[in-house]
Structure 1
């Protein structure tokens, strides 16, 4: 296994559980130089406690394997854990490290952790040879790649900004690790800081620049410490902050589909995955629209219930264009929806229902033989709805609103500002407003584009034809068991890939739950079948 993290951990847990008793341990070498390999960088146990998950405790359903004694995450975290709390990434990382410890003691697997990077991978007649310190000299029967999001070549804009910062007094930083950002931000008092991206990472960045510098949120207001930047300017292409999730379990329950509705959708998404694009769109719409209309009627938005089909048609073709409010207005609107202070809109209901159907979406799409055209359609729809379904805690949205009220955060330039480099750093301009920033923070998650990946191992596998894109704008092609499909269209026996770099062959890969779901179990079953 090359890389571990939650996805690799979930895969090995599935392999341990599926291994028949009494056949002797399967030897597994795990190559991962990260010091907490079960957690991985995204959930590093030493990450700042200011970095939160975007899932409340009540919705974290990564149940432990049958042999585990640590219990599920909520039980491990605290016996009286508040179900509406959004835990920290670091807490989850510590839990995953405990799960890794239990796995290392499982009799079905003989696991050796090798804290070394893999330099190369070569196909041999009887397996795959791994070039790394500590690798066995004989070929491995199976190799699983779980690289998460490897480093990529910066896009043209960011590459230009990096070069500008290298030759001026300006600075560029990444959002993570947050501990590193917090340390750097200690020297930004009085400066104006730009944040590229307004997704979930932007909220972590805001806390790194404010409460991590000694400020306090109290009674809906922000009380500064005096060590913060003078001003913080988040921006993105559409300038729209994501919609927060419903604040309480009771509010969230309003969006739960009925059992019969979920069954109908499960059938529809499975059929859609193997259909032509127009038929796929129709099947999903027919299953989704009546559920959304029912919920709207039950929650007091009867007039909107009549327009669901029209809203969905527009969303398929132009996601996000139906929200026309300004950035600050959209922020307050999202807070009101999450609090239940306003009747839910069509988009908000669609997003929450779609969130609750993520397992069904993966179960229908991932094992299917989906054409590139249909894959792009369904993945585009899923990605577009992330502004609702992957939203932050409402507390994070309130924090952003409080920072705006305190004059510290500025959303007037949030929507696709014109940006030019200047002596001081960058000059942002939008609708007659202009400001200069001297620090830029990148809070944009790169797309899983194989051509942009800088990791030499992945690049080498692509150049040799062992990994290839499933289609234009899609990531690597794999079969339902995770086996790589090469440039010539043939399966690469013994070479498998799970995770973001397979987006297109699989869907909804950014969910933590996907790491411990059916994709891992299908891979494990395939390994056991091939090993006999």
Structure 2
């Protein structure tokens, strides 16, 4: 019997177990026992739990969600169409709780109809220690030995508090995904609220305190364009102030990519794949990795942006486009002082009412090439300074490319127009008489900041680092793994039977804040390794 401990029961755990189940269906009486450690119901986990309020909606198109398997052939959209949740097919950004229902149902199918022996352990893992060929997993329920351990902790283990969180501040999760009644009671109607953060998590808080308290949206037309007006419910705060260091709002996602730009993107996808092949590591050992030529990659992205601008009829020089990425906004946007007006300008550019902006061009390039960039940059060896530079520029590009969908952006703009919402630089924020809410999410990876300064976000990772079972490279926050998710130890060798999937590996691999199952192949390779191991063992004992 092979015993597997999955630390974290969210979507990454679900995808790996579905893949493993499908790989083992030919074996009768599968000798596998899997314990899933998570305080929340597996499949959905904490972030997608089914109890969260319905005003919290997807920030991406629902078509990317697919937890289908031999047990259920339906993608999320197919599943909800059959269940009657989206009969018209028009709800592109449904409630996250509904996504959670789909994910939870797929896990329940796995338990009931799959070939794995699955058990849910509703507790938090506090430590993992190697004991010979096995691992001892410590939790609130005691300790047990396992042959394989998978770290899939997602948005952080229980008890996370962001760096710099003010004493007495409420956590965004208390008002959103966890919706604690006591926490909501601490934000009375008519109060002043200050939110630390001005990104997607902050938007969740804003909607929870307005729409979630009885506020409604009225469809209107302004300047010939569809918009919404906020109708107060009477229970919302009098003023909500979001804060950020840059004070630059996230750009709403482009509604569509014009045909000529799709052709440009196809060309550059091929180029990025070639760059990735030329800069890939020749083996899984960390010390064998050549330094990647990041300058060539940036020149490729710039060339793509220039071609997209030309096809869109935008006058933009290479210098102007470079400066937009370096500054986080174009010169034209920097001249707009109000975050609300910047949001309005972005919406008009998205709809092509106004000429496309440099931000719009970069959003097309970054989102359109992102899948290829994830693969090309996976586990590369960075030259000194390149990792830090990439992080800075990528943060600016992601603010342009991965902002809220248009329906959410329209709601935010309506709240700005109603005088309920405002945004200010963090340095100018006044906390006196304000209820402070922390909307800074747990950092990606497993450290509070880049190594070597960053501290382990949880004792679980601290002990693994101290025992040299895992490796985090300089200027990164996530675990370095092999292509099948197996962790590499401090010597750059495979830490056999210890794997990490998803957010704990961010930086060596990118883009784990996603439900797109096709973006990262590690879970599939992990399942294949386990299946091969179990199949070989079964054949040896067969009469």
Partner of 2:193: 193
**Matched residues in 2 for 1:380 and 1:515: separation?**
26
Would you say the 8 A contact 1:116–1:133 is kept in 2?
Answer: yes
CA drift of 1:519 comes to 2.0
Select 1:104's aligned residue among 111, 126, 130: 111
- Contact 1:16 / 1:106 at 8 angstroms: preserved in 2? no
How far 1:217 moved relative to its partner?
A: 1.8
Tell me: CA distance 1:25–1:43, structure 2 relative to 1, closer, same or farther (3 Å).
Answer: same
How many Å separate the matches in 2 of 1:31 and 1:135?
15
What is the correspondence of 1:458-497 to structure 2 with a 5 Å cutoff? Answer: 458-497=461-500
Match of 1:12 in 2: 17
8 Å contact 1:474–1:503 — kept in the other structure?
Answer: yes
Match of 2:87 in 1: 80
CA 255–479 in structure 1, closer or farther in 2 if over 3 Å, else same:
same
Which 4+ residue blocks in structure 1 deviate beyond 6 angstroms? Answer: 133-136, 275-278
State whether structure 2 residue 240 is matched by structure 1 residue 241: no
SS at match of 1:495: strand
Pair 1:416-2:426 in alignment:
yes
Q: Pick the aligned partner of 2:319 from 303, 310, 316.
A: 310
Spell out, residue by residue over 1:254-277, the C-alpha distance to the aligned partner (whole angstroms, 9 max, x if none): 653453332222222444566977
CA distance 1:134–1:206, shift in 2 (3 Å): closer
The change in CA–CA distance for 1:65 and 1:517 in structure 2 (over 3 A counts) is farther
Paired residue for 1:174, among 162, 172, 177?
172
Q: Is the 8 A contact 2:268 2:369 kept in 1?
A: no
- Provide the residue aligned with 2:36 in structure 1: 31
Q: Would you say the 8 A contact 1:468–1:477 is kept in 2?
A: yes
Q: Confirm or deny: 8 A CA contact 1:145 1:498 kept in the other structure.
A: yes
Q: Which of these residues, 36, 54, 60, is aligned with residue 59 of structure 2?
A: 54
SS state at 2:146 partner = coil
> Which residue is equivalent to 1:145?
151
**Aligned counterparts of 1:197 and 1:136: Cα–Cα separation in 2:** 38
The question of 1:507 aligning with 2:510 is answered yes
After superposition, give the CA deviation of every residue in 1:37-73 in whole Å (9 maximum; x if it has no partner). Answer: 110111111111111111123xx32334440435111
Counterpart of 1:385 in 2: which secondary structure? helix
Measured after TM superposition, the shift of residue 91 of structure 1 is: 0.9
Shift of 1:195: 1.0
Distance 2:511 2:61 in 1: 18
Matches within 5 A, 1:318-397: 318-320=327-329, 323-324=333-334, 325-326=336-337, 327-366=339-378, 368=380, 374-397=386-409
Moved more, 178-187 or 351-360: 178-187
CA gap of 1:464–1:189, structure 2 versus 1, over 3 A, is same
TM-score (norm 1): 0.84
Once the two structures are superposed, residues 264-314 of structure 1 have per-residue CA deviations (whole angstroms, 9 ceiling, x without a partner) of 22222444566977822323422x33433333233332x12xx2x324544
1:230 offset after TM fit, Å? 1.5
Q: Which residue of 2 aligns with 1:45?
A: 50
Q: Specify the alignment match of 1:296 in structure 2.
A: 309
Q: Is 1:114 matched up with 2:121?
A: yes
How far residue 133 of structure 1 moved from its aligned partner, in angstroms, is 7.0
Structure 2: how far apart are the matches of 1:498 and 1:340?
Answer: 40
For the residue of structure 2 that corresponds to 1:128, the secondary structure is strand
1:126-172 Cα shifts (integer Å, max 9, x gaps): 221223477885x42211010112257645632xx21xx3xxxxx53
Contact 1:10–1:516 (CA<8 Å) still a contact in 2? Answer: no
2:384 and 2:88 map into 1 onto residues whose CA distance is 44
TM-score (normalizing by structure 2) = 0.82
Distance 2:254 2:108 in 1: 35
Change (3 A) 1:277 1:124: closer
Match of 2:437 among 438, 441, 447: 441
Is residue 2:264 matched to residue 1:264? no
Q: In the alignment, does 2:91 pair up with 1:91?
A: no
Equivalences, count: 497
Q: How far apart are the structure 2 equivalents of 1:280 and 1:23?
A: 49
Q: 2:411 aligns with which of 392, 396, 399?
A: 399
Query: Closer, same or farther in 2 for the Cα pair 1:442/1:290, shift >3 Å?
Result: same
Q: Does residue 280 in structure 1 map to residue 294 in structure 2?
A: yes
Change (3 A) 1:446 1:346: same
Q: CA deviation at 1:361?
A: 2.0
**2-structure distance, mates of 1:252, 1:44:** 36
Change (3 A) 1:528 1:285: farther
- The structure-2 alpha-carbon separation of the partners of 1:142 and 1:81, relative to structure 1 and needing over 3 Å to count, comes to farther
Instruction: Output the CA distance in 2 between the equivalents of 1:110 and 1:378.
Output: 43
Query: Are residue 456 (structure 1) and residue 477 (structure 2) matched?
Result: no
Q: Give SS of 1:189's match.
A: coil
Decide whether aligned partners of structure 1 residues 206 and 397 sit closer, same or farther in structure 2, where only a CA change above 3 A counts: same
CA distance in 1, matches of 2:470, 2:385: 20
CA displacement at 1:9 relative to structure 2: 0.6
Matched residue of 2:516: which SS? helix
- When residues 118 and 184 of structure 1 are mapped into structure 2, their CA distance, relative to the original with a 3 A threshold, is closer
Does residue 232 (structure 1) correspond to residue 240 (structure 2)? The answer is yes
| Rounded Cα–Cα distance in structure 1 between residues aligned with 2:162 and 2:116 | 41
